[in-house]
Amino acid sequence: MSTAIGEKVSDFELVGHDGETVKLSKQLESGPVVLAFFPMAFTGVCTAEMCEFRDTLKEFESLNCKVYGISVDSRFSLKAFAEQQNLNFVLLSDFNKEVSGGLGILYEDFLGMRGVAKRSVFVVDKNQSVAYKWTTDNAGERPNLDEVREALQNLN
């Protein structure tokens, strides 16, 4: 199963690296949400991607949105990763793979491991629908954040 542009995203609650629970529908009350899925904390491309979000977060915030990084790592691993990289946004743990599985973005085999999230970005609008989607099977490829910002601008 995968979620296409225009389709509703199932509501979810995930625990952040800070220990706080984040509910999608609650976050959407204040504007759109960017969900940036990445395979694994502490790996080269994932670190570069999350640091790019960190370095451009003010641009995203100026578009009245919240950014969340999501992986299947534990919240404890994500906490150490966020601290090491000085990330200024919340990383959510999809340890049980419910969200990434529901969106159809899990690798069957990633370096011998099952159920790792594919690098993907979703912009979810205030109606809880997918306004933008980018996903790749190539874990070495990073999303174009200009495209993500453009999708957010088109919502305003």
Out of 28, 35, 40, 46, pick the active-site residue.
Answer: 46
Report the distance separating Cα 67 and Cα 34, nearest Å: 5
Closest C-alpha to 101, from 114, 88, 111: 114
Token pair of 132 as six digits? 């933008």
51 carries an active-site annotation: no
Q: Is 89 within 8 Å of 68 (Cβ atoms)?
A: yes
Cβ neighbours of 10 (radius 10 Å)? 13
Q: Is 11 within 8 Å of 24 (Cβ atoms)?
A: yes
Residues acting as catalytic residues: 46
